[in-house]
């Protein structure tokens, strides 16, 4: 756990003190977020706020991951600690960085064109699909060496998972790559839709990533690959300590960023940050084999997407709107809620989803262990 805390603390410091530098730099470049004229009128006061702040916490996470690996050299069991970057890190950090670059391109075009259009929808979806396919193939087809008494062959599994692989839901590797792409695209766009109010996507992502940090570390302490672990219940995953390290680094970086992103925001994460965070969360869900638990862990993201789909579907089929405006947070703005109230209440909803999901994760462990005793 020491390495995870080191990574989180290093990322926090870099993000906390690096974000003001980014604010000054992007302000000088006039890289401010274009404000939609058809959006809530209260957003017009945000004009001039720089965007692309996701660059800061992506950079902080990468540096902190390296620092965490230095801390890993102090661990007594060399057999269980990764000697260097693993396939798991390549997949998770690769998704994080490359979807962040795609989002950066989108943000850059918005700034350059001085409107909120940016990269067209088709280009964005194609980019997400290509990135998901590349790292999905790595996750499903790059084998691991034997560790301890267990062989965990790939980062991802051809089986769908709840808190473990579900044996009768084996969809095959090709279908699993396609499903991987779907999850990456879904979460990347879900976090992107949730962004829009000061601190909303940042705080919600912190809650989800903290839960994945806890899940991954718990899996490390009850790992099938640990030859000293003999209990009836173990987790057949690959590189759980690596996953905890990356999630912890991302949490620290986001907490430091939230200092400047909370209302009134001095900087926005932009598509650079929101798309990167969504793909990282998707990768962690696949790597920890909790993919069917993700809709509950990311409850707020799911609600935002479902209500958005409902609005679009209703308008296109009947010409009527269900909500005043989507994404859902803007509906409540137009209903008269203050921005801070919306953000805090949405954080509470996100926290309830995370608490329920962690409860189910723990309940499965307790059920098996109580039966074994």
pLDDT tens-digit readout, 280-309? 999 999 999 999 999 999 999 999 999 999
The CA distances from residue 85 to 242, 251, 362, in Å, are 8, 19, 29
* 367 or 56, which is more confident: 56
The β-bridge partners of 161 are 165
Per-residue model confidence (pLDDT) at position 149: 46
Q: Is the pLDDT of residue 191 over 90?
A: yes
Give the mean model confidence (pLDDT) for residues 270-287.
97
Beta strand pairing call for 165-170 and 159-161: antiparallel
| Residue 371 pLDDT | 66
Rounded Cα distance between 122 and 28, Å, is 31
Can you give the pTM of this predicted structure?
A: 0.93
Residue 150 predicted with pLDDT over 60? no
Distance CA 161, CA 360 (A): 13
Tokens of 133: 């396919």
Task: Tell me if 131 sits within 8 A of 315, measured CB to CB.
Answer: no
Q: At CA 349, angle to CA 344 and CA 350, rounded to 5?
A: 95
What is the structure's pLDDT at 175? Answer: 96
Q: How far apart are CA 271 and CA 107, in angstroms?
A: 6
Rounded Cα gap, residues 24 and 329, in angstroms: 29
What percent of the chain clears pLDDT 70, i.e. is strictly above it?
89
- Quick check: 76 pLDDT over 70? no
What is the Rg, in whole angstroms, of the alpha carbon atoms belonging to the chain?
A: 20
State whether the Cα torsion 363-304-289-210 is positive or negative.
Answer: negative
For the ranges 93-102, 160-169, 248-257, 282-291, the lowest mean pLDDT is seen at 160-169
| Whole-number Å distance between alpha carbons of 254 and 266 | 14
Q: How far apart are CA 240 and CA 215, in angstroms?
A: 9
The CA-based angle 340-326-254, given to 5 degrees, is 45
Residue 251 pLDDT greater than 70, yes or no: yes
- Residue 48's pLDDT is 81
Chain segment 86-142, per-residue pLDDT in tens: 889 999 999 999 999 999 999 999 888 776 677 888 999 999 999 999 999 999 998
Q: Which two tokens stand for residue 228?
A: 């000293």
Work out the burial of residue 232: count CB atoms within 10 Å of its CB; fewer than 13 is exposed, 13-18 middle, 19 or more buried. Answer: exposed
Q: How far apart are CA 60 and CA 228, in angstroms?
A: 34
In 3-state terms, what secondary structure has residue 37?
coil
CA end-to-end span of the chain, whole Å?
A: 28
Averaged pLDDT for residues 25-46? 74
Q: Return d(Cα 60, Cα 56) in angstroms, integer.
A: 6
Distance of CA 221 to the CA centre of its chain: 23
Backbone angles phi, psi at 159, to 5 degrees: -100, 145
| CA 92/CA 100 separation, integer angstroms | 12
- Cα separation, 183 vs 124, in Å, equals 15
Residue count (the chain): 373
| Per-residue pLDDT at 355 | 97
pLDDT at position 198 over 60: yes
């Amino acid at each position: 756990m020491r390495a995870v805390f080191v990574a989180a603390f290093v990322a926090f410091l870099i993000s906390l003190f690096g974000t003001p530098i980014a604010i000054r730099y992007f302000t000088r470049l006039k890289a401010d977020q274009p404000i939609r004229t058809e959006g809530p009128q209260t957003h017009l006061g945000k004009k001039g706020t720089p965007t692309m702040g996701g660059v800061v916490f992506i950079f902080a996470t990468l540096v902190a991951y390296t620092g965490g690996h230095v801390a890993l050299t102090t661990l007594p069991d060399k057999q269980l600690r990764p000697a260097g970057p693993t396939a798991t890190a390549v997949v998770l950090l690769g998704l994080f960085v490359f979807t962040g670059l795609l989002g950066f391109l989108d943000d850059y075009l918005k700034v350059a064109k001085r409107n909120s259009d940016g990269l067209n929808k088709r280009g964005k979806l194609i980019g997400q699909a290509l990135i998901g396919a590349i790292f999905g193939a790595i996750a499903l087809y790059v084998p691991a060496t034997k560790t301890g008494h267990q062989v965990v062959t790939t980062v991802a599994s051809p089986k769908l998972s709840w808190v473990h692989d579900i044996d009768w839901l084996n969809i095959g590797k090709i279908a699993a790559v396609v499903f991987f792409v779907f999850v990456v695209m879904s979460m990347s766009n879900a976090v992107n839709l949730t962004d829009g109010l000061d601190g909303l996507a940042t705080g919600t992502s912190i809650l989800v990533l903290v839960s994945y940090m806890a899940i991954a570390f718990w899996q490390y302490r009850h790992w099938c690959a640990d030859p000293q672990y003999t209990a009836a219940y173990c987790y057949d995953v690959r590189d759980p300590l690596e996953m905890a390290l990356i999630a912890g680094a991302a949490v620290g970086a986001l907490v430091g960023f939230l200092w400047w992103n909370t209302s009134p925001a001095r900087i926005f994460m932009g598509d650079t940050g929101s798309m990167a965070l969504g793909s990282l969360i998707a990768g962690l869900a696949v790597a920890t084999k909790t993919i069917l638990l993700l809709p509950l862990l990311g409850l707020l993201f799911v609600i935002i997407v479902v209500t958005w789909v409902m609005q679009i579907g209703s308008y296109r089929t009947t010409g009527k709107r269900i909500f005043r405006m989507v994404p859902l947070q803007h509906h409540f703005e137009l209903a008269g809620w203050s921005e801070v109230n919306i953000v805090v209440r949405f954080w509470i909803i996100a926290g309830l989803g995370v608490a329920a999901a962690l409860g189910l994760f723990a309940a499965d462990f307790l059920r098996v262990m109580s039966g074994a005793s």
